[in-house]
A = this chain, B = another copy of it.
Amino acid sequence: MASEQQKQPWHLTAAEALPLLQSGDLKAEDYVNSLLHRIQQRDEAVKAWVYLNPNQVIQQARHLDEVSAKARGPLHGLPVAVKDVILTKDMPTQYNSKLFESETPIAADANCVMSLRAAGAIIFGKTSTTEFATTKQGNWHQNLTTNPHDKTRTPGGSSSGSGAAVGDFQIPISLGTQTGGSIIRPASFNGCYGFKPTWGAISREGLAQWSVTLDTCGFFTRSVEDLELLSDFFNIRDDGAPPSKPFTLKGATFGFCKSTYWPSAGAGTRKAMQTAKSILEKHGAIVEDVELPNDFDKVLGWHAAVSAREGQASFLGQLMTDRTHLHDNIIGYGENRGNVSRKDQLEAYDECARLRPILDAIASKYDAIITPSVVDEAPADVGNTGDMNFCSTWTIMHVPALNIPGFAGEHGMPIGLTAVCPRFKDRQLLHVARTLGPVFAAEGGWQPGHNGVPQ
């Protein structure tokens, strides 16, 4: 604990901060002031926030500091950043869309925000997103978020600010959403954990909708313990009793799945997969290559069909209201410009549904499957949020997926790998990652600070 207290509060993970906040050893006001100071130093370069009102944050913290120890909620004083496609009753929600440019808050919390707030979390501010969490960072908000490790590079998307703020130690926890790779990719690019739980684990009420089959709410953190803490709170639990002992690599089995998209993998991701394999084998784990059955070759096409045709339903209100304010990609969904037929849509639904238990069975042979998160380190183009194709299969298969940082690209930027378990084995995944994450960080070649982010 002594070493924890030597850290500046902004440096703490949620799991480190929470007992200090609960006991009163760390006042919520001091904690948020430390984070606000960190943000003040870093915001000019990173620009992760689209709404942040320091007074409002301090007021929340002061109010919480007045709560007696007995009456404190399970997440007392924990600061959480919220992707700006998620409703917050006291902050505007703008979706990076000129259609929602009003500064007036919509007077409702998304169900996940309502839960966090009621548990004593501090709803800190809103983080940047691509337009309605779809393709492009730059539409209305031209003040693009950058990668905290190199401001000429993208933080990824669509959860751009949520990934950048956590990766940059501006906040311990943020909420994001994933329809293709919108949590995993920014987590990889910014060097933090990004967790997309099993489909449906967290309420989507009050979140922007793109695809009912795909949209999933999840988290960014800098430790696996933080994800376990949040999963406890959100009732993300596997069947059976939790494991009583830490996971050990010796004798563990991992499936390495390069996937059909592997030919697109760049040098950084190729090296990360190779390095991870060496590390695991060195620690006594068994690593096997996993080739998914041929039917999985079609999954990316099915993902595209589902997101296009469900997008048509989701964006009708925006198209009807004012299409001149919408990115052409969104208008394209609204018009079903890709001519996806109902037959195509049904094939995608039914074939993916058929493959889900098949993937579960394959994944259940291993402690986890390891697979690329991204094509390579973050592109040197702030407006190009990158490629979702290494993530989309796991999204439409509804399995839990976790970006584990620890590797470095050719320019020293962070690269993560994705660990996957069967559906509703979210806690198995986190249990494995609690051991795996620190090993990758120690031996993979990248840790926070590697790129000169001030610590």
Q: Which residues of A contact B (CB under 8 A)?
A: 87, 93, 102, 104-109, 111-115, 118-119, 199-205, 207-209, 212-213, 234-235, 237-239, 310, 312-314, 316-318, 320-321, 336, 341-343, 345-346, 349-350, 353-354, 356-357, 360, 423-424
Highest count of chain B CB atoms <10 Å: which of A118, A199, A200? A200
Does the CB pair B356–A350 fall under 8 Å? Answer: yes
Q: In the complex the two chains form, is B213's CB within 8 Å of A209's CB?
A: no
How many chain copies? 2
Give chain B nearest CB distance to A323 CB in angstroms. Answer: 10
A349–B398 CA distance with the chains assembled, in angstroms: 11
Q: Across the interface, do A320 and B208 meet the contact criterion of CB distance under 8 Å?
A: no
Contact between B200 and A213, CB atoms less than 8 A apart: yes
A212 & B209 in contact (Cβ 8 Å cutoff):
no
Which 5 pairs of residues, A with B, have the shortest CB-CB distance?
Answer: A353-B353, A114-B317, A118-B320, A342-B424, A205-B209
CA distance A105 to B114 in the complex (A): 17
What residues of chain B lie closer than 8 Å to A109, measured between beta carbons? 317
A111/B317 contact (C-beta < 8 A), A200-B213, A209-B205, A342-B424 known: yes
Say whether B111 contacts A209, CB under 8 Å. yes
Q: In the complex, what residues of B have CB within 8 A of residue A208's CB? A: 205
Give the chain B neighbours of A199 by CB distance below 8 A: 212
Contact status B313-A200, CB under 8 Å: yes
Chain B residues whose CB sits within 8 angstroms of the CB of A114 once the complex forms: 317-318, 320-321
Query: Are A342 and B238 in contact, CB atoms less than 8 angstroms apart?
Result: yes
Report chain B residues within 8 Å CB of A205.
207-209, 314, 317
Q: A118-B317, A350-B357, A354-B354 are in contact. List 15 more A-B contacts (CB 8 A).
A: A104-B107, A106-B106, A107-B107, A111-B314, A111-B317, A113-B317, A199-B212, A203-B316, A204-B209, A205-B209, A234-B313, A238-B342, A239-B341, A350-B356, A353-B353
**What are 5 A-B residue pairs whose CB atoms fall within 8 Å in the complex?**
A111-B316, A118-B320, A203-B317, A346-B357, A346-B360
Q: Is there contact, CB below 8 Å, between B105 and A424?
A: no
Contact B107 A203 (CB under 8 A): no
- Complex CA distance for A108 and B119, rounded to whole angstroms: 25
| CA gap between A115 and B360 in the complex, in Å | 39
Shortest Cβ distance from A211 into B: residue: B200
What is the minimal beta-carbon distance from A12 to any residue of chain B, in angstroms?
Answer: 24
Interface centre among A113, A208, A424, by most chain B C-beta atoms within 10 angstroms, is: A424
Flag if B200 contacts A115 (CB, 8 Å).
Answer: no
* Chain B residues, Cβ within 8 Å of A314: 111, 203, 205
